[in-house]
Homo-oligomer: A and B are copies of this chain.
Amino acid sequence: MIPNILSNGQYNTVYNFLSLVIAAQLFTALFMLIGLPRILPRYRQAITVAIIVCGIAAYHYFRIFDSFKAAYVTKSVGGTGSYSQAVGAQFNEGYRYVDWLLTVPLLLVELIAVLALARSLQRRLLVRLVPAAALMIALGYPGEISGDNGLRGLFGLLSTIPFAYILFVLFVQLGRSLDKQPTAVRGTVSRLRFLLLLSWGVYPIAYLLPLLNIGGADAWVGKQIGYSVADIVAKAVYGLIIYGVARTKSFDDDPKFALAEGAETDEPFVLAH
């Protein structure tokens, strides 16, 4: 549940984390937009999707930030006291789910697009991954808005089923196509899959925090920090790594391009920017 009272420290912590996410998403998107001509055209689809994902996230975090600012007020001078819920405004957790419903399927599109697989294989993977990702988010929402811990646990469990299916497709079915990738990229893509698993793993932890009964406001603040950090890792950091992969593959594919970009062709260019 959304807490009625936040201490000054709790309020500022949430406030600064929400702002940090806006900055991270916005300027990662800008970085990739400026860097788009610096990869070969065949990898620009993946980076375009990565830019859109960070852009959508920045937009929703502006909404979340404004919703949070409107939802709490303090009566004290200089904010030395505490904040309480404002009359006529409530913090809207729904923005996170609208964001995830759009961005989480796109994160999988990003991953598949950068591999530049055969079109039929790419299509076979995406018709499995995209609906599963949308279903995973949709099943989490009823638990999120419910004040009941039983319902929260139940819907958390239900949304784990499509999550497990996504992992099966990525680690088992996609695994078979990795042998055809250049050596320098194979390791990175493998690590990318683990980064996806790791960053997505933060969401269920944040989701389940209220079940631990740490105490209303602290658990809620912890959940907001958890979601914020997870969104930075899963979208911005993940996007930058995808960008690194696209650079590596561009240099591998076209040594003349690598030379113009100032890369040493004997060494793979991964993540060193």
Q: Evaluate contact between A87 and B59: CB separation under 8 angstroms.
A: no
Copies in the complex: 2
Name the contact of A24 in the complex, choosing from B8, B22, B102 (C-beta under 8 A): B102
Best-surrounded residue of A24, A27, A31 (most CB of chain B within 10 A): A27
Contact of A12 among B27, B56, B94, B126 (CB under 8 A): B94
Residues of A contacting B: mostly? helix
Contacts of A273 in B (CB 8 A): 45, 49, 109, 113
**A51 in contact (CB, < 8 A):** yes
Segment at the B interface, from A132-140, A195-203, A261-269: A261-269
**B-contacting 9-mer, from A69-77, A153-161, A169-177, A184-192:** A69-77
Nearest Cβ in chain B — how far from A95, in angstroms? Answer: 7
9 A-B interface contacts by CB (under 8 A): A2-B78, A20-B102, A23-B102, A34-B36, A41-B261, A49-B273, A75-B88, A109-B273, A126-B272
**Which 3 A-B residue pairs are closest in the complex by CB-CB distance?**
A42-B262, A79-B90, A78-B85
